[in-house]
Structure 1
Amino acid sequence: MRDEKDYDDIPGTFVFDADRSREGYHLNQFCISLRTQKAREAFKSDPEAYLDRFAMTEDQKQAVRDRAWNRLLELGGNIYYTSKLAAFDGITFQDLAAMMTGVSRDEYRDMMLHGGRPIEGNRSKSEWEKK
């Protein structure tokens, strides 16, 4: 269980800090393992047996099964490692980012080309409460 951090108030963001790193260690080991062909073949042929090789929590395993991308980050996944799972599914990083932000690929690309999300209304969850 993580201690509450000041930056937990950032909307839509799961900061990959030391606590999340410890929480997600086995999840990230699973994800990074998918960089090898042998591991991808093993995961494809028997996903449950392959998941059982890693000491992940049941919530982490379910997030993998569901491809719940934001939940993976919340449970300690590092975006660069979890993107290996997306690549396994044939999802590009740009498409993954679009999915995680709830917009289309073109909308995501346009947003990034124009400086990303606006600052106003996205600094803290408390700003949302004021509206």
Structure 2
Amino acid sequence: MQYYYGNQMPLRVLDEAEFWKQQEAEHTVVMRELVQNLEQEYVDALKRWEDVLNTTHQHVVRFVESVIRSGNQISPQLYQQVLDLVSFCLQESVAFIQFCRQVKSESAAVSNNPTAKVVIDHIVDESEYFIGIAQTILYEQN
């Protein structure tokens, strides 16, 4: 997490979401590159996930820019939109984790690749880390 904003919300949580959505998108590429003989259905699904995660990342970037431009005068509506976006990012990460676990358990190519299993576990751990951060920040707001 970047601390140039101190403990300031909502930039704090947007910074986390921006970083982790970019990471998750990059992880789709890692999985495709690591498992050379990955079944086409998973290759295609990983490409779709990459597009979806990149789109979410861009939404987060736009909100960062909006919050920065608003200075210290963040409207209640913008603040609520940020919390809604972070909640969406959290749910998206949950779905991405489920997909990664599905690939690990159902792909014959992954089952024959011990390195891929370890990498997928690491990818899942990183997305779970983001979920933990997002939940903590969201719950602090209630």
Normalised TM-score (structure 1):
0.27
